[in-house]
Chains A and B, each alone.
Chain A
Amino acid sequence: MDKKLERILPRVQKPARYVGGEYNAVIKDKVQVDTRIAFCFPDTYEIGMSNLGMRILYGVMNQMEGVWCERVFAPWGDMEEEMRRADIPLFGLESGDPITNFDIVAFSVGYEMAFTAILNMLDLAGIPLRSAQRDGLTPLVIAGGTAMYNAEPIADFIDLISLGEGEDITVELVELHRRARREGWSKAEFLRAAARLDGIYVPSLYEIAYNDDGTVQAITPRDGAPAVVTKRIVHDMDKAYFPVNTIVPSTEIVQDRVMLELFRGCIRGCRFCQAGYVYRPVRNRSRELCAQYCLDSCNDSGYQEVTLSSLSTSDYPPLTELCDQLEPFCESRHVNLSLPSLRADNFSMALMQRLAKGRKTGLTFAPEAGTQRLRDVINKNVTLEELLNSCRTAFAGGYNAVKLYFMLGLPTETDEDVLGIADVAARVMHAWRESAPNKQRGVRITVSTSYFVPKPHTAFQWEPQITREEYERRVQLLRQAMTTKTVTYNWHDGQTSFIEAVLARGDRRLGNVLEAVWRKGGHLDAWEEYFSLDRWREAFEECGVDPAFYAYRRREKDEIMPWDMISSGVTRQYLWREYENAMAGVTTPDCRTRCNGCGANQLVGGKCDV
């Protein structure tokens, strides 16, 4: 281990995060390696190691001969300070080598609040921040992940963006880069060639012109870059790489269990949900393969908990059959199955009995809105009666804690909708009184509200976010209405969600803001401990950028969006139709009931696997 590193570790919290050496971490012989890749997650080890996409692509890249992909995470504040003082550049966990001279530095970006952490990690690595400042072919700085469906705020810092699922495109891209190095291409030559790969967006090849009112006037591709870049997907989940022999962290992480991905996409079409749109279409992994992966993963990792993961797991058609198939194994090996969250409309006794046999702690439902009217607007398609039935089932089955998630500030929300949340909580409480077999143990009902952030590529991409003052008023309104004892009410602080709303639909002019925030010390803004709204305010002011323009403005139907060069496969016409349906309070059935013509079926040759 590096001597300088060894000296600072005794002074930092949880040093095991910074040393690597975990079971299944990939170590390669440098002599056999011609491509060094730093796979960076712009958040802490505990968060990054909980990310399934990270594990998949780590496996995919390390399967390639001559390629060594290492993990890099953002250090916590204490470690960053020590690293800077001891002059230790950001290093790969596998080799301990500084990533400064790696061939490719790749970021997995899942959320906008991680943007400043990207800049900080580049700086910690000693890599110039802006793409234009990096002349050479290496290090090539690339990014992918859900937040990259609008990459514009960080477009000036990243050489190219990989859109969608990375299993195939990552391999193609690494091979192209390898060839470019071998044949001595310039960076510009390489970027032009990369822009011709499906799913690769090279921001520097797009000219953005703005109108006087600040909206985008035109997006002009050059040097043969496509006008629209469509995301890549894996077509057959049964042929997709699954990280069976995945790294087992030696220190506790957030998702410290086997993550078994059952399917991608979501049949539901909730209008606020970016994931629901951009991960389309639905592609199921066969039950047999899921069962096999479950066994193999448990056997290799030794985990005794498996989370059946997807955007909406109870929609996996053979879910109960899968649980039944796994039961003998789970029984003999004391393995528990868990679900990330539940839909209130198809949570059944049958499913409940198959989950977490020993530990009945809590269940989580997300009704999202307090009244049927608003749930119809957002197309949540869950009724109060369904929610109460699910709660009754859970309480009757011995559960004594329920968490309910809602959003405040959804389009068209009125005070009546806000107060409806308190009413839902009271009714859930009543359901417990009716159905709990043992009332001595009491019940815990937790209501959490977040501050709605309109996201690009959703039906609400045209909508303003409600102002922070209005959000806080609605929180107070709800607080006063929450009179039921045993109901705990948690609400999000509005500051981060406001910045998130600015960045989510931001354009390239926010690049200067990001850099200014970073220079003022914004290094890990996804964490409340490190987030400071004042820093952002100052930065907006210095850069002459009005955050309200991005967060609070209603977009015109035909306005050119900053992310219009990117397609998730779902057409803009469909999103607009969904927006109009939302305003009319008309629901759209799920994809299994009927194809609604969103366009994503074109990605799989016309027929979805619903």
Chain B
Amino acid sequence: MSKLRLLFVKEAQAAYISHLDLMRTFQRCFPRTELDIRHTQGYHPHPIISIVLPLPVGQSSDCELLDFEVTQDTDGSGIADKLNTGMPTGIRVLDCYATKRPVRELDSLRADVTLEYDAGVPEGAAEQLQVLLSRDSLVIQKRTKRKELADVDIAPMIRNAAVTADEHNLYLDITVQAQNPGLNPQLVEKAIAAYLPQLTPDFVRVRRRAILDANGQDFR
């Protein structure tokens, strides 16, 4: 038996594949690897597959991880290429390897958040956003799992944020807490709406760049 981990890119059209659909997509590709995925025991056995930090629909990522277990003994070499023969556009498996680190060691994630302004970036926007994200408290309203609105302070979950700008875009390089609880970088949009409504962008694009351990090193 082996515990394996996949590192993959999710981008372009594949950004719109939901978490559950992505699991199904991988499940359908596994037969190409000739690996025998371990299944749960019980009346309706289902394959043991989990995606480490499910990406919100619409976002792209350079560094998704998927954990799975197989009955064979293998270090995972050659698996990535086989999987890539059956993937939809926008999903590319970069690596497959034996899982060494537990998911709890995953600490933060770094993302590029692009705020698009069709009429041009407002004067002083970069500075204002930088100041906003440096505040000690940044309370936004967020839907809870029970679909109620709740006030959440996202400031403690922001580790680092740097804002740059060009004519039509603000580029936010942001590092946020990844779990327990994690912060969706897209929520910066809500903070802007609440605190700097004049800076509300026309569109926000998020791409996950790295997932990091407590030492700021890539988590693999």
Q: How many residues of chain A are within 8 Å of chain B by beta carbon? A: 28
Interface membership of chain B positions 1-26, coded 1 if the CB is closer than 8 angstroms to chain A and 0 otherwise: 00000000000111011101110110
Within 187-232 of A, Cβ neighbours of B (below 8 Å) are at none
Interface membership of chain B positions 27-67, coded 1 if the CB is closer than 8 angstroms to chain A and 0 otherwise: 11111100000000000100000000000011000000000
Q: Tell which of B25, B30, B44 has the most Cβ of chain A within 10 Å.
A: B25
Report yes or no: B87 in contact with A15, Cβ–Cβ below 8 A.
Answer: no
Report yes or no: B31 in contact with A15, Cβ–Cβ below 8 A.
Answer: no
Q: How many residues of chain B are within 8 Å of chain A by beta carbon? A: 27
A586 within 8 A of B: no
Report yes or no: A9 in contact with B58, Cβ–Cβ below 8 A.
Answer: yes
In this complex, what residue of A is CB-closest to B17? A250
Closest-CB distance, B72 to chain A (whole angstroms): 14
Contact A250:B25 (CB < 8 A) given known A21-B89, A302-B32, A302-B86 = yes
Q: Which residues of B contact A299 (CB under 8 A)?
A: 31
A18 to B202, CA, bound (A): 21
A20 to B89, CA, bound (A): 8
Interface membership of chain A positions 341-370, coded 1 if the CB is closer than 8 angstroms to chain B and 0 otherwise: 000000000000000000100000000000
Q: Which residues of A contact B22 (CB under 8 A)?
A: 250
Report yes or no: A250 in contact with B21, Cβ–Cβ below 8 A.
Answer: yes
B182 within 8 A of A: no
Interface membership of chain A positions 9-23, coded 1 if the CB is closer than 8 angstroms to chain B and 0 otherwise: 110001110111111
A437 to B88, CA, bound (A): 46
A21 to B60, CA, bound (A): 15
A302 to B44, CA, bound (A): 19
Report yes or no: B13 in contact with A248, Cβ–Cβ below 8 A.
Answer: no
Report yes or no: B28 in contact with A248, Cβ–Cβ below 8 A.
Answer: yes
Report yes or no: B17 in contact with A16, Cβ–Cβ below 8 A.
Answer: yes
A218 to B115, CA, bound (A): 65
In this complex, what residue of B is CB-closest to A96? B13
Q: Which residues of B contact A22 (CB under 8 A)?
A: 88-89
A471 within 8 A of B: no
Contact A20:B13 (CB < 8 A) given known A6-B203, A250-B21, A359-B44 = yes
Contact A19:B203 (CB < 8 A) given known A302-B29, A302-B30, A302-B31 = no
B90 within 8 A of A: yes
In this complex, what residue of B is CB-closest to A248? B28
In this complex, what residue of A is CB-closest to B25? A250
A31 within 8 A of B: no
* The residue from B16, B86, B202, B203 contacting A16, defined by CB atoms under 8 A apart: B16
Q: Which residues of A contact B44 (CB under 8 A)?
A: 359
* The residue from A251, A300, A304 contacting B17, defined by CB atoms under 8 A apart: A251
Q: Which residues of B contact A584 (CB under 8 A)?
A: none
Contact A21:B30 (CB < 8 A) given known A7-B203, A9-B58, A16-B21 = no
A20 to B90, CA, bound (A): 11
Report yes or no: A19 in contact with B28, Cβ–Cβ below 8 A.
Answer: no
A300 to B25, CA, bound (A): 13
Report yes or no: B21 in contact with A252, Cβ–Cβ below 8 A.
Answer: yes
A19 to B17, CA, bound (A): 10
Report yes or no: A16 in contact with B31, Cβ–Cβ below 8 A.
Answer: no
Interface membership of chain B positions 172-215, coded 1 if the CB is closer than 8 angstroms to chain A and 0 otherwise: 00000000000000000000000000000011000000000000
A9 to B17, CA, bound (A): 12
A301 within 8 A of B: yes
Interface membership of chain B positions 101-128, coded 1 if the CB is closer than 8 angstroms to chain A and 0 otherwise: 0000000000000000000000000000
Report yes or no: A19 in contact with B86, Cβ–Cβ below 8 A.
Answer: no
A263 to B58, CA, bound (A): 42
* The residue from A16, A19, A333 contacting B18, defined by CB atoms under 8 A apart: A16
In this complex, what residue of A is CB-closest to B27? A302
Q: Which residues of B contact A251 (CB under 8 A)?
A: 17-18, 21
Q: Tell which of B18, B29, B44, B88 has the most Cβ of chain A within 10 Å.
A: B88
Q: Which residues of B contact A16 (CB under 8 A)?
A: 13, 16-18, 21
Q: Tell which of A14, A248, A252 has the most Cβ of chain B within 10 Å.
A: A248
Report yes or no: B86 in contact with A10, Cβ–Cβ below 8 A.
Answer: no
A250 to B17, CA, bound (A): 7
A301 to B27, CA, bound (A): 11
List residues of chain A with CB under 8 Å of any chain B CB: 1, 6-7, 9-10, 14-16, 18-23, 25, 248, 250-252, 298-304, 333, 359
16 contacts between A and B (CB under 8 A): A7-B203, A15-B57, A16-B16, A16-B17, A23-B88, A248-B25, A248-B28, A248-B86, A248-B88, A251-B18, A252-B21, A298-B31, A300-B86, A302-B27, A302-B86, A304-B28
